[in-house]
Amino acid sequence: MNAETGIQGSYWLETAPPGVPAPPPSGDLSVDVAVVGGGIAGLSAAWELVQQGREVAVLEADRVAAGVTGHTTAKLTALHTLVYDHLRRTRGPEGARLYAASQTAAIRRAFEIVDELGIDCEWEEAAACTYAEDPGRVGALRAEAEAAREAGLPAEFVTETDLPFAVAGAVRVSGQAQFHPRKYLLALTDDLRRRGGTVYEGTRVVGLTEGEPCTLRTDSGVSIRSDEVVVATHYPVFDRALLFTRLSSRRELVVASPIDEDRAPRDMYITPEQGTRSVRTAPYHDGERLLIVTGEHFAPGTAHVEDRFARLFAWADDRFDGLTFTHRWATQDNDSTDSVPLVGPLHPGSRHTYVATGFGGWGLSGGIMAGRLLSDLINGRLPAWHRLYDPRRLASVVREGTSFLKHQAQVARHFVGDRLPAVTAPAPDNIPPGHGAVLRLGGRHYAVHRAESGSLQAVSARCTHLGCIVAFNHAEQAWECPCHGSRFAPDGRILQGPAVRPLEKRDIPE
Ligand code: FES
């Protein structure tokens, strides 16, 4: 519950059981496969590998299914806004076809698992729609419908939807799904354990030595020897191929309100307009559904988040009328420069290390797809789409040079610009309760936060990943790094990587 607004946080975290605790390892370990990261990609890979007889350990820094996966909008669809027209131009019709086939196979796989394990995760079939209100976008929507159809999806261009406002047009793909992501993943985790897999929570991996076997090191000094390693930490904590130059982090806000069942849209919607708006509903109390609206994306540490929440509340209330918001939360995505996830060997010389990242806002179908793809690769199989997702691909990065250079320029600005001496900031006395500010004192950057009680605490403002300067997100009470999206609590604890070390505690100089 947010103390200032009286509104709950993530609906998925609130309404799923807490999960069976999984303590950290008490000593060194040896396994066939170590999976670093207990979100949907890591748990899906682990579950597939255990099915295939591998001895698997999942190493999660926090709790499983509580990070990005616990904050998503939980749409399972192969229609990813306007990706197919883009893919047929950049990767050719075959690339678009493989993308559609792999994402569709992931949705089918999720359904098989739900069915086989009897998981109660509020699975609902629904159509996915990309819409626009601006008639100027109809051409792009028609092109997307045609490209998605060519790629093998049952896509059609329509002008009528069950949204309560007029649209200029929409691409509609039937047979997609929505579910409760945390209920799904907790059941998958339980089954993983039943089949002999091991899960360790509160276990942050801070070192990787590649070899035969590979060795991982945790922050508590435990060593894990493993034949194969999967890095599925959302943003990779190990980067041996400069993946961070091809990924950009994006934070997005989510608000939710009950809505009468007869007013709730049945389909799932997204529009690239107004800085992206996404709409779905979920089962709620009798006679009601929960309307979940997402939007207002921004680079971590670069926005006034309360203003953006206010804009999203206003947009949802304007479109759906008479809402009473009960939940609000934020999610974080990593976009790859060519709009295709990076799933496969960790670097060009990799023999036993793999990565899954860059799912954009489509981490559920992408994560399930990645789980199957990585388990296939580890077992020596090459699915038809392995080259499409291979992180070692170079040609497409060259084609996506503009996006690549833009991201690098932004990072350079935060990295170099933050070192300029002309940083102005209030003195510690001017920081109000519940706020934080970066101060330059005696030539060093301090990230200073004043608690509601009035006490001040300071940590280094230099992100422990690659040294950019963090900024304070008041709405979520977190220090955020604009370069690659690491997030820290006011006391410097890591909330989200790629950083693996907390911000260093500092005394404020007199
Ligand atoms: Fe990379 Fe902060 S996350 S420098």
Domain range spanning residue 465?
A: 428-506
CA separation for the pair 413, 238 (Å, rounded)? 23
For 466, the 3-state DSSP assignment is coil
**Residue 448 falls within a domain, yes or no?**
yes
For 2-6, 178-182, 201-205, 479-483, which range has the lowest pLDDT when averaged over its residues? Answer: 2-6
Residues written for the chain = 510
**Residue 406 falls within a domain, yes or no?**
no
pLDDT at 310: 94
**Residue 446 falls within a domain, yes or no?**
yes
**Residue 485 falls within a domain, yes or no?**
yes
CA dihedral 229, 234, 240, 246 (to 10 degrees): 150
- Of 238 and 398, which is predicted with more confidence? 238
pLDDT tens for each residue of 472-481:
998 889 999 9
Q: Are 41 and 322 in contact (CB under 8 A)?
A: no
For the entire predicted model, the pTM comes to: 0.91
Number of domains in the chain: 1
Task: Please tell me the residue having the least CA distance from ligand 1 atom 4.
Answer: 466
Which residues are near ligand 1 (CB < 6 Å)? 463, 465-468, 481, 483-486, 498-499
Question: Which atom of ligand 1 lies nearest, measured to the CA of 414?
Answer: 4
For 389, the 3-state DSSP assignment is helix
Residues 6+ apart with CB under 8 A from 210: 229, 350, 351, 352, 353
Which mutation among 483, 496, 503 tests ligand 1's pocket best, with the greatest number of atoms within 8 A of CB? 483
pLDDT at 221: 95
Percent of the chain past pLDDT 90, that is, above it, reads: 74
pLDDT at 244: 82
**Residue 484 falls within a domain, yes or no?**
yes
**Residue 237 falls within a domain, yes or no?**
no
pLDDT tens for each residue of 400-455:
555 555 555 555 555 554 544 434 456 888 898 999 999 988 888 999 999 989 89
195 C-alpha vs ligand 1 centroid, how far in Å?
A: 37
169-174 average pLDDT score: 98
**Residue 338 falls within a domain, yes or no?**
no
Task: Please tell me the residue having the least CA distance from ligand 1 atom 3.
Answer: 484
CA separation for the pair 381, 507 (Å, rounded)? 54
Region of 37 (left: φ > 0; alpha: ψ -120 to 50; beta: rest) is left
Pairing mode, strands 456-460 and 505-506 = antiparallel
Q: Are 356 and 234 in contact (CB under 8 A)?
A: no
**Residue 494 falls within a domain, yes or no?**
yes
197-222 average pLDDT score: 96
Tell me the β-bridge partners of 158: 170
Q: Are 31 and 224 in contact (CB under 8 A)?
A: yes
pLDDT at 6: 66
CATH of the domain at 475: 2.102.10.10
Q: Are 110 and 118 in contact (CB under 8 A)?
A: no
